Structure formats: C-alpha cells, structure tokens
C-alpha cells in the first residue's frame, strides 16, 4: 500500500467540509438521525461506554508511544508520539472553535419529540468532538503505518464512534461528518508540521513494521 500523499488531502478536505456544512439538508439530517436513534433499551450502556472509550484511546496513544520510544530508542516512535500529541492539540482547538462559532443546539433540544437523549452531553452539537477525536487518532495511526491491518481496524473503530454518537441521540449525521473531517485534517496538519520540525525525509513506518 503506498503512503498517503499530503498534497492530495489538502485539496479534498476543505471541499468536502464546506459541502457538508453548507449544503447538508436539515430534513435529510434529521430523518437519518431518527432512523439511527431509538427508544432507550438495555443495550444502551454498552454503546455509551464504547462511545466514551475514545478519550482513553486518544490520550493513551502518545503516552504509550513515549514509553516505547524511551525503552527502544527508536526514532519512529518518538516521531509518532510528537505527531499524535500535536494532532490532539490541533483537533481540540479546531473542534472547540467550530462549536462556539456555529453554536448549533443538540438534536434532542430542538427535536425532543423525535430524538431520544441517551447520554449526557453539553449544549453545543457541531461538530462531534468524540468523532473528531476518533478520526484524528485513526488518521495518525494510518499515516504512521499505512498497512491494511492498521488502517482498517483504526477507521472501523472511528466509524463506530461516529455511529454511537448518533445512536445515543447527541449528534446529527452532519456533526459526525464534520467531526471526521476536522479530526482527519488535524492529523494531516500535525504530520506535515512534525515533518518540518524534525526535518525527516524518510517515512517513519518503515521502522515500525
């Protein structure tokens, strides 16, 4: 599998992002959410726990990478720790800026007659912070090691997090799509800046696999 090329991502990410934000139809957004959301039931506890797992996965990644880098002295793990930490910082900043800039209410606030609230959530909906965190983590992993056995599980997990936010009734589909783009873009930006900072000319994944 060939490595991901940064120049192509910079073209696609803004185009898709502005399409999602500017042209997503509210009726379509709400109707799709209504199909994914359902009345509270016994299995909701698992989905709630799975949804919240992303915070632990995301924060543990740079910490574990630092420990491996210190133990093995491998530059690739040091590089990954810096890239993933930067990705977390960028993602948090962009997500919060958009949340307060757009100030979109949660779906259960505007459509309480249709949408069941099955998890605690703040007042602002757009974009999905859980989803952006999941996709910045998955993209960071994919950039560091673009092998199918890393990329497929990482993005499957990220997509599962996005689905869980809609299932729990705390985000619209457009919130989740925007979160995925913000998270993926944050990881790509961090990759680019980390390369510049460390002036690396070779791909780090060659030493990690």
Cα 26 to Cα 23: distance, rounded to the nearest angstrom: 9
Total domains in the chain come to 1
- On whether residue 1 sits in a domain, the answer given is no
* pLDDT > 90? residue 139: yes
Residues pairing with 124 in the sheet = 105
The per-residue pLDDT for range 177-194, each reduced to its tens digit, is 999 999 999 999 999 998
18-32: per-residue pLDDT in tens?
A: 445 544 455 788 889
SS3 label, residue 124 = strand
Whether 132 is in a domain gets the answer yes
- Mean pLDDT of the chain, nearest integer: 84
CA angle 186, 189, 193 (to 5 degrees): 135
Question: What is the rounded radius of gyration, in angstroms, for the C-alpha atoms of the chain?
Answer: 18
What is the span of the domain harbouring residue 64? Answer: 6-208
Residue 172 lies in a domain: yes
Assess if residue 111 is contained within a domain: yes
> CATH number, domain at 71?
1.20.144
- Whole-angstrom distance, CA of residue 70 vs CA of residue 73: 5
Per DSSP, 157 falls in state: H
Q: What CA–CA distance (Å, rounded) separates 126 from 143?
A: 26
pLDDT digits (tens, 9 = 90+) for 158-167: 999 999 999 9
Grade residue 41 by pLDDT with cuts at 50, 70 and 90: confident
Give the pLDDT mean for 42-53: 89
Reported as a single tens digit per residue, the pLDDT across 92-129 is 999 999 999 999 999 988 888 888 988 888 889 999 99
Residue 34 lies in a domain: yes
At residue 84's C-alpha, the angle toward residues 119 and 200, to 5°, is: 165
Phi-psi label, residue 42: left if phi above 0, alpha if psi -120 to 50, beta otherwise: alpha
Spatial neighbors of 148 by CB under 8 A, at least 6 apart, are 1
Confidence (pTM): 0.81
């Amino acid at each position: 599998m060939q490595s991901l090329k940064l120049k192509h991502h910079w073209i696609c990410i803004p185009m898709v992002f502005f399409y999602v934000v500017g042209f997503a139809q509210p009726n379509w957004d709400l109707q799709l959410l209504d199909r994914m959301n359902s009345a509270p039931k016994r299995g909701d506890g698992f989905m709630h726990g799975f949804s919240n797992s992303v915070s632990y996965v995301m924060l543990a990644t740079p910490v574990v990478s630092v420990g491996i880098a210190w133990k093995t002295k491998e530059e690739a793990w040091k590089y990954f720790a810096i890239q993933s930490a930067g990705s977390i910082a960028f993602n948090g900043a962009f997500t919060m800026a958009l949340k307060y800039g757009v100030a979109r209410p949660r779906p259960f606030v505007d459509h309480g007659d249709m949408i069941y609230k099955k998890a605690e959530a703040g007042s602002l909906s757009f974009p999905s912070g859980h989803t952006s965190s999941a996709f910045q983590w998955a993209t960071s992993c994919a950039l560091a090691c673009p092998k199918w056995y890393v990329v497929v599980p990482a993005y499957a997990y990220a997509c599962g997090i996005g689905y869980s936010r809609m299932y729990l009734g705390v985000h619209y589909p457009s919130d989740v799509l925007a979160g995925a783009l913000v998270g993926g873009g944050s990881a790509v930006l961090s990759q680019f800046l980390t390369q510049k900072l460390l002036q690396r000319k070779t791909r780090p994944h060659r030493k990690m696999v």
